[in-house]
Amino acid sequence: MRIEEDIKLDYADVLLRPKRSTLTSRKEVVLERTFRFYHSPKQWTGVPIMTANMATCGTFEMARVLAPHKIITTFHKYYKQAEYQKFFETFNNPNFVVYTLGMRDEDITQLKAMSEAGLLNNFSFICLDVPNGYLEKFLETIKLIRALAPEHIIIAGNVATNEMTEEIILSGADIVKVGIGPGSACTTRRMTGVGYPQLSAVIECADAAHGISNTKGCGLVIADGGQQYPSCIAKAFCAGADFNMSGSLFSGFDESAGKLVEKDGKKYKEYFGSSSNKALLEFYGKKEAHRASEGRYVLMPYKGSVASFIQDLFGSLRSTGTYIGAKTLKEFSKRATFIRVNKQLTTYLENFDQDN
Ligand code: 5GP
């Protein structure tokens, strides 16, 4: 047994120090980035924000609204080939959609079938998503996917530590998904005791990924989960995240899946973890006897179309850039100085309702 004494931090444990700036307007802050990759020969330009690959927000409806804003939709794992076939009859924007799969035999079978049918050409990205990215089989599956899709931008996760980030990139992924336990619908930390405070995980994994480079590009990371507010997305970019992935921030909208529920005169939409009892029963028909649920079911206040949120999100990111003197998203991490804050302030921010 060993104890690490270093203090590890979450988004709520820090604020950003304002800095002298030559910017004259928020409009000047550029949110688009262009990336090249360690393995894939592709180049990608867009706003590096994506929905989680969850049943509630990784939907076709979401992609139709987000793609024109150059935001990525990471589809959930439960769409079947025939559904993709139909969707791509009326959607053609590969840079802003991700095909997600897990490690089960059926997942690999569908990936191969999608490839043979030419459907994978509709995606620039493929995401291998597992709750625990520390398994030997996970690395083997990354190698298999890289062999099947040599040109695609491959995302793989989730992990929360530097040494596994490096292994994942060296095994064939371009982007590592970082986050064990920060998700709002996740109960892994409570059920298993395993996790890593997310801001520190992002800082340490980004540092490891960026250290692996060749003439084309370097390893990249996605900060996945735990962003309760747009400010958390800004903090993740400041911590070195190349992309941000969020589930709850993209839920509760018309374009999110899940039932619309009315309770005490207010409207809500369902949001549930991918390992919740609801997801396991709905998508796999059963919860196997050896596993416990590691996800929650919550009702999110209904918020209309996601388009209005995009405007707020872009506005707040531009405002962060103006405060810290960063003209581009790339500069966020260079300009950022985090200040640790006390628990009282954290609690205050968590209880603050923006509309009151
Ligand atoms: P959020 O944006 O809601 O804070 O977090 C979304 C992320 O939580 C997802 O991208 C995924 O990594 C993680 N997640 C989603 N469902 C579950 C679950 O049931 N259990 C766990 N451990 N993590 C989940």
Residue 52, domain CATH: 3.20.20.70
pLDDT, tens digit, 9 for 90 and up, residues 303-326? 999 999 999 999 999 999 999 999
Q: What Å distances lie between residue 113 and 41, 82, 264, CA to CA?
A: 23, 11, 47
* 43 part of a folded domain: yes
| Section 87-113 average pLDDT | 98
Q: Is the pLDDT score of 356 beyond 50?
A: no
Q: Is the pLDDT score of 353 beyond 80?
A: no
Quote the tokens at residue 320. 């962060």
* 4 part of a folded domain: no
pLDDT of residue 286: 72
- Say yes or no: CB of residue 184 within 6 Å of ligand 1: yes
* 251 part of a folded domain: yes
pLDDT, tens digit, 9 for 90 and up, residues 119-168? 999 999 999 999 999 999 999 999 999 999 999 999 999 999 999 999 99
| Section 280-293 average pLDDT | 78
Q: Is 188 marked active-site?
A: yes
Q: Is the pLDDT score of 337 beyond 50?
A: yes
Q: Is 320 marked active-site?
A: no
Please report, in angstroms and rounded to a whole number, the separation of the first and last CA atoms in the chain: 48
Q: How confident is the model at residue 288 (pLDDT cuts 50, 70, 90)?
A: confident
Pocket test for ligand 1, best of 186, 249, 299 (most atoms within 8 A of CB): 186
Closest CA to 93 of 113, 63, 119, 117: 63
Beta strands at 153-159 and 243-246: parallel, antiparallel or unpaired: unpaired
What is the pTM for the complete model shown? Answer: 0.95
Question: 325 CA to middle of ligand 1, Å?
Answer: 32
Q: Is the pLDDT score of 208 beyond 70?
A: yes
Grouping H, G, I as helix, E, B as strand and the rest as coil, residue 160 is coil
- Say yes or no: CB of residue 248 within 6 Å of ligand 1: yes
* 300 part of a folded domain: yes
Number of domains in the chain: 1
- Say yes or no: CB of residue 157 within 6 Å of ligand 1: no
* 115 part of a folded domain: yes
Q: How confident is the model at residue 285 (pLDDT cuts 50, 70, 90)?
A: confident
> Do the beta carbons of residue 125 and residue 173 sit within 8 Å?
no
CA pair distance 10, 200, nearest whole angstrom = 7
**Given the residues 57, 127, 186, 232, the one annotated as active site:** 186
| Section 259-273 average pLDDT | 94
* 3 part of a folded domain: no
Helix 105-116, helix 136-148: angle, nearest 10: 10
* 191 part of a folded domain: yes
CA pair distance 133, 180, nearest whole angstrom = 9
Beta strands at 33-36 and 43-46: parallel, antiparallel or unpaired: antiparallel
pLDDT of residue 350: 60
What atom in ligand 1 is closest to the CA of residue 184? 4
CA pair distance 124, 62, nearest whole angstrom = 17
Q: Is the pLDDT score of 355 beyond 90?
A: no
- Sequence length of the chain is 356
> Do the beta carbons of residue 291 and residue 284 sit within 8 Å?
no
Question: 274 CA to middle of ligand 1, Å?
Answer: 7
Average pLDDT, the chain: 94
Q: Is the pLDDT score of 37 beyond 90?
A: yes
What atom in ligand 1 is closest to the CA of residue 158? 12
pLDDT of residue 344: 61
Domain that holds residue 21: 11-355
pLDDT, tens digit, 9 for 90 and up, residues 54-86? 999 999 999 999 999 999 999 999 999 999 999
- Say yes or no: CB of residue 256 within 6 Å of ligand 1: no
Question: 327 CA to middle of ligand 1, Å?
Answer: 31
* 5 part of a folded domain: no
Q: Is the pLDDT score of 4 beyond 80?
A: yes
pLDDT of residue 269: 96
